[in-house]
Copies of this chain bind each other. A is one copy, B any other.
Amino acid sequence: MTIEQPKKPTEVIFTCSGTAIGKMRNDLQVKMVEPMLEEFTMATDEGPFHGGDATAPPPLALFIGGLTGCIMTQLRAFAKRMNVEINDLQVDCKIVWQWTPKDRIYETAPKAFDMEISIDSPSAIEDQLALIQAARKGCFVEQTLGQSNKITHRLKTEGGYMRLPS
């Protein structure tokens, strides 16, 4: 299938509406809003260690799945356009986070992100390397992780939304 690429810069917008149910489960209604509307139903939960019922994968499983899937999608999408043949593709991703107790709660920080890419391809290694570098720039998740992002938070109150300091 030939992919028709828009000619002009555009925005890609996703929304997620999460509802807490059960002990630690979150039902998630995810929408792609732009460039077209698509809807997806998913959920997260926690295992017994974190007080949950393990009815769905934990949030970090979705997170690493999103990162791995994103780079894999970009590799295959760009391969055709860069004339790199891919017979088979395997990506192994590993993320290490630091977890630090602080009084009765804890704080977290990312430590390492590693990807091993196996491409079964008759194309030259330098072309495969060029494909990977292009895929990294086209991968929404990798580009997001590569920069410091500001997340705004608002709490709904009876008097309206309160914006939290960053």
Contact = CB atoms under 8 A, between A and B. Distances in A.
Interface of A: 1, 3, 5-20, 23-24, 26, 28, 30, 32, 35-36, 38, 40, 42-44, 46-51, 54, 57-70, 72-73, 76-78, 81-82, 86, 88-101, 104-119, 125, 128-129, 132-134, 136-157, 161-162, 164
A164 B107 CA distance: 32
Contacts of A100: 9
A164 to B, nearest CB: 6
A50 B156 CA distance: 37
Contacts of A152: 112-115
Contacts of A144: 63, 97, 110, 145
User: What copy number does this chain have within its complex?
Assistant: 2
A145 B145 CA distance: 6
A151 B91 CA distance: 13
Contacts of A11: 96-99, 111
A14 B162 contact: no
B146 A149 contact: yes
A95 B13 contact: yes
A59 B69 contact: yes
A36 B49 contact: yes
Contacts of A108: 12, 137-140, 143
Nearest to A63: B66
